[in-house]
Amino acid sequence: MAIATGPEATSGGNLTFLLLMIGLTLVAAAVAVLHPLAWTAEEVWIAVAGPVAAGAILGLVSAIPMAAVTIYGQTAFGSQSSLWWSIATVAAAGLAAGVGGFMLLRKSAFAAVLWALAFGIAAHAGLNGTASLMRPLLISPELVATLEAAELMPAPGGAAGPVAITRFHEPSFVFLTATDTEQTDAAGAARAVAAGRPAFVESVDDAAFHASLAEMGLAARSAGAVSGKNYSNGRDLTLTLYTLAEGTAAAAP
């Protein structure tokens, strides 16, 4: 900062200040080398082991909420297939806290960090496996699978796109479909179906969706449905995939 100059500066920066700071830094370094301060054994232990102990304590504390989240997730959204993953996650988190804490009490801070790190990695892997099997939370992949099963996934030479969707406006669904996925309301979903495009309509919007189509003299048919829980707000969702009913002409774009 001492030598930085703006675009309208007329000098080369505060060179005097820069030289003064360099000189003071060199003097401080020389004093520290030629006349070092004597540290007590306790001060050395605090300087070396203090940060390690703090890291170990942080790892132990993080194991508690991880176990709590896993237990809640298994209770609310889990299945038999995710049960063993949940047990492994909680066990690894418990070992991270228990073994790490025991080693910390024995003043083995480095060993505590190593044990907490090893079991912490195992707990994170278990949590990832548990979450991957909690189907009520995996709405986006289920929506894509429903589109593919109904042969309505937009593709060149295939079904028309983009897909319209109400309520569930999550980036995960956009990532799995296309960047032009239409996040809309009931009326917008009706316009999409009227144009020959597929639309997912949440149950709350179902009546308004059909009313909008009726005003255009059109009707829709269901091609599948997905139920689950929106992990971002905790609300239950039922999204029905609609397409234009057979025998109904699509509206001109």
Sorted by where each begins, the domain ranges of the chain are: 41-134, 139-244
pLDDT at residue number 75: 74
pLDDT at residue number 80: 73
Q: Mark out the alpha helices in the chain (DSSP H runs).
A: 15-34, 41-77, 80-105, 109-132, 139-149, 171-176, 186-194, 206-215
Burial label for 232, CB within 10 Å (0-12, 13-18, 19+), is exposed
pLDDT at residue number 209: 96
pLDDT at residue number 229: 78
pLDDT at residue number 37: 67
**Residue 238 · residue 143 · CB < 8 Å:** no
Q: Which long-range contacts (CB under 8 A, 24 or more apart) does 13-17 make?
A: none
Q: Is the pTM of this model over 0.85?
A: no
**Diameter over CA atoms, the chain:** 95
Measured between alpha carbons, how far is residue 46 from residues 95, 97, 103, 104, 109 in Å?
A: 26, 22, 17, 14, 11
**Strand partners of residue 159:** 154
Q: Residue 100 corresponds to which amino acid?
A: G
State the residue for tokens 């082991």: 49
Averages of pLDDT over runs of 10 residues in the chain (253 residues) are: 49 68 83 70 65 62 76 70 80 77 67 74 78 68 90 77 90 82 94 94 96 93 89 81 78 50
Q: In what order do the strands lie in the sheet with 164-166?
A: 182-184, 164-166, 199-202, 235-244, 220-230
Closest CA to 104 of 59, 152, 62, 149: 59
State the residue for tokens 């919007």: 205
